[in-house]
Chains A and B, each alone.
Chain A
Amino acid sequence: MAEFIQLLFNGLVEGSIFGIAALGISLVYSVLRLVNFAAGDFLTLSAFTTYFFSVDLHMPLVIAVLISVVIGVVISLFLEFLIWRRLRKSGAGMLALFLVATGVAFVLRQSIALTFGSNSRKFNIDQIKTFEFLGAQIAQAQLVVLCCASIAITSIAIFIKKSVIGKNMRAYSDSPSLAAVSGINVQRVIIATWCISGAFGALAGVFQGTVQGQFTSGMGLDLLLSILAAVVLGTIGDAYGALIGGFVLGIVMELSTWSAFFGGIPSTYKPVVAFSVLVIVLLFKPEGIFGVKARRI
C-alpha cells in the first residue's frame, strides 16, 4: 500500500509537470495549428539557464527561475517574429510547420549541448529532506514542485476563462477567420499564446530538473514524447484536455511500475507505457478524449 501511495504521489508530481508542458503545446496548437516539436528543448534550456544563474552565478534560486522564464518567453517571441509569422504569411502547410519546428529543436538542442557540454547538472537544493505520509516518502522538492505547478495551473485557468485576451484566445482558436473580422487583435492573441507557452515550458523544465535531481541536454527530448502523448490524449488543441492528459499519463506511467501489477513494468519502459495508453485510447476514440466525431474514410 505504501508503495501504491508513493507511486501515486510521484505520478501526481510528474503529471503536473507533463500537464504544464502539454498545456503550452496544446495552446500553441489551438491558436497557430503548430505542433511545437521544439517544446521539449525549451524545457532543457530553462533547466540549464536556471542552473547557470543559481549555481554558477550564485543567484537565489527563485530569481534564477524567473530569469529563465523570461528567457523562455523572449526566445519564443523571437522565433515567432523570425520564423512562425513568416511561415503563416506564406501559407505553409502541416509538413512545413512540422519540419521547421524540428529544425528549431535541432538548433536549440545542439546549442545547449555546445554551450554546456554533455555532463549532467544538479540544482543546489536539498534533495534529501523527505516527509512521511501513509508510509510513503515524499520529498520536499516534490512537494514544492507540486505546489508551484498547482498555482501555475490555477492561475492560467483563471486567465483563460476571465481575461479579455484569454477569451479572445478561445474565440480565435474556434474560428480564426471569424475572430479576425469581429475585431479581435490577432497579433496580441498570438503573442500572449507564445508568452504562456514559453513561460510554462520554462517552468516545466525547472520542475523536471528539480524532481529528476540530475539532468543532461537530452532531458527535454526524453520527455517530449510523453508530453506529446498527453497532448494528443486530451485532444490536441484542448488546453484543459492537455492538463488532464498530463495527469492521467503521469499517474499511469508511475503506477505501471507497481510491483502488484504483474511485478511491475521496468521503469525504463515508462515512455512505452505512455504511448501504449495513447494508442489504445485512440483505437477506440480516434479524435482524443474530448474531440468531436471525425468523418469516416
Chain B
Amino acid sequence: MNAIMQPGFWIFILTMSGIYGIFGLGLQVQYGVGGILNFGHVGMMALSSYTMAILVISHGINFWIAAATGVGVAALGGAFLGLTTLRLRGDYFAIVSIAFSEIVRYVIFNSDNITGGAQGSLAIPAIGEGYPSYTNAWDSIMNHMRDFLQPIFGDIVNREFVMALTIWSTLAVLLLIVSRIERTSWARVLRATREDDEVPAALGKNVFRFRLQAVIIGSILGGIAGIYWALESTLLSADDFLTIVTFYGWMILILGGATKVKGLPFAAIFFGFLYGGTRFFTFWPFSMVDSAQRAYIRIMIIGVVLIILMMKRPQGIFGKRQEMVLE
C-alpha cells in the first residue's frame, strides 16, 4: 500500500495524464470538431520526439530549436497524411492513418544507424559514461524552477513536481487556445463537415482545406505531447509508439465527451490512474501476477473500458448525448 501514499505516485499520474491530455486534445480538434477519424495520431508523437532527440544528441542543436523542429515535423507528418488520404471516405482514412503511424514506427525501428532502432537508444555510451542524453537543457530549467519554487511550496517540490506542473500549465494554455479556436467560424464550418460535406462545399467552403488544417493542428498538439513524452521518459524506443497509444488518446477523448474540451482534463486524470496506477499496484491481490502480466491486464482493462463506454455512454461522462446521436 506504500506506493499510493507517496507523493511521487500522484505526481507520476499527473504527469502522464497531462501528456496524454495534450495528446487527446489533438484528437479532439480532429474528431470532436471535424469528425475526422485519425487512428495514426501516435505517429506525430513519434515524429516529434525522435526529431528532437536526434537533433540534440547527434547534431548538438539547441534544445528549444530542436523541440520546435520536432513539433514542426509532426505538423508536416499531419500535412502529408492529410494531403495524401484526406479526400478518402472516413473509414478509408481511419485505416490508412493507422498504417501511417505503423510505418513511422517501422522506419524508426529499422533505421538503427539514425534512431538506435531496436536498442532503443540514440547513441552508444562511451565507456564509463551514461547514455548520451537530450534532456540536459531541460533538466537545468527544471532545476532552476525547483530552486525557485521550493522556498514557496516546501519539500514536495522536486524535479518531477516541476515537470508535472509545467505539463499541466501547457495543457491549460492549449485548452484555452483550442476552446477559443472552436468558437470561430472556422470551427463552425468544420462542425458542419463532420455531419455532411456536401452542404459546406455547395456554400463555397473548401472542405478539404478545413479538414487538412484540423489534422495539422491536431498533429501539432500530438507533437507537443511527443516532446514531453521524450523529456519524461529520457530514453526513446520504437515500442513507445505502438498503435495502442493512439487509442489511449481516443479513450480520453470519448470519456471527456468528444464535442467539448471541458471534460478532457478529468478524463485524462482518470486515464492516468488506469495507466500509471497499475504500475504501482504491487500489493495483494495484484502481487499475485508479475509485472509483465500486469501490463497485459492493464491493456485488457483499457479494452473493456472502450467497449463498455461506446456501448453504454458514447457521449462520455461530460458530453451531450443529443450532439452524438441527434438524427
Closest partner residue, chain A, to B247 (CB atom): A102
Known: A96-B310, A103-B305, A107-B304. 15 other contacts (CB 8 A): A99-B254, A100-B306, A102-B250, A103-B304, A106-B303, A107-B303, A110-B300, A111-B300, A228-B95, A229-B95, A236-B91, A236-B92, A271-B102, A297-B201, A297-B208
B30 to chain A: closest CB distance in Å?
A: 11
| Complex CA distance for A104 and B324, rounded to whole angstroms | 22
| Complex CA distance for A111 and B304, rounded to whole angstroms | 12
| Complex CA distance for A105 and B325, rounded to whole angstroms | 25
- B96/A294 in contact, CB under 8 A: no
A197 to chain B: closest CB distance in Å?
A: 17
12 contacts between A and B (CB under 8 A): A90-B311, A92-B314, A100-B310, A103-B302, A231-B95, A269-B106, A269-B110, A271-B99, A271-B103, A282-B88, A286-B88, A297-B198
Q: Which of B95-114 contact A (CB under 8 A)?
A: 95-96, 98-100, 102-103, 106-107, 109-110
Closest partner residue, chain A, to B312 (CB atom): A90
B87 at the interface (CB under 8 A from A): yes
Closest partner residue, chain B, to A95 (CB atom): B37
| Complex CA distance for A90 and B311, rounded to whole angstroms | 8
- A229/B99 in contact, CB under 8 A: yes
B39 at the interface (CB under 8 A from A): yes
B244 at the interface (CB under 8 A from A): yes
| Complex CA distance for A102 and B302, rounded to whole angstroms | 10
Number of interface residues of B (CB under 8 A): 50
A1 at the interface (CB under 8 A from B): no
B26 to chain A: closest CB distance in Å?
A: 16
Q: Which of B49-57, B229-237, B275-283, B289-297 contacts A (4 or more CB under 8 A)?
A: B289-297
A97 to chain B: closest CB distance in Å?
A: 8
A284 to chain B: closest CB distance in Å?
A: 12
Tell me which residues across on chain A come within 8 A of B110, comparing CB atoms. 266, 268-269
Pick the residue among A91, A100, A106, A288 that contacts B302 (CB under 8 A): A106
Specify the main secondary structure of chain A where it touches its partner.
helix
Interface string of A78-102 (1 = CB under 8 A from B): 0000010011001111111011101
Interface string of A213-239 (1 = CB under 8 A from B): 000000000000100110110001000
Closest partner residue, chain A, to B202 (CB atom): A297
Pick the residue among B92, B207, B305, B311 that contacts A232 (CB under 8 A): B92
Pick the residue among B297, B310, B324 that contacts A110 (CB under 8 A): B297
B156 at the interface (CB under 8 A from A): no
A60 to chain B: closest CB distance in Å?
A: 32
A94 with B198: in contact, given A99-B306, A104-B303, A236-B92 (CB under 8 Å)?
Answer: no
- A297/B87 in contact, CB under 8 A: yes
Tell me which residues across on chain A come within 8 A of B90, comparing CB atoms. 94
Give me the 3 closest cross-chain CB pairs, A-B, nearest first: A106-B303, A103-B306, A103-B307
A275 with B96: in contact, given A87-B311, A100-B306 (CB under 8 Å)?
Answer: yes
Tell me which residues across on chain A come within 8 A of B305, comparing CB atoms. 103
A98 with B37: in contact, given A271-B102, A297-B207 (CB under 8 Å)?
Answer: yes
Interface string of B40-54 (1 = CB under 8 A from A): 000000000000000
B176 at the interface (CB under 8 A from A): no
- A107/B103 in contact, CB under 8 A: no
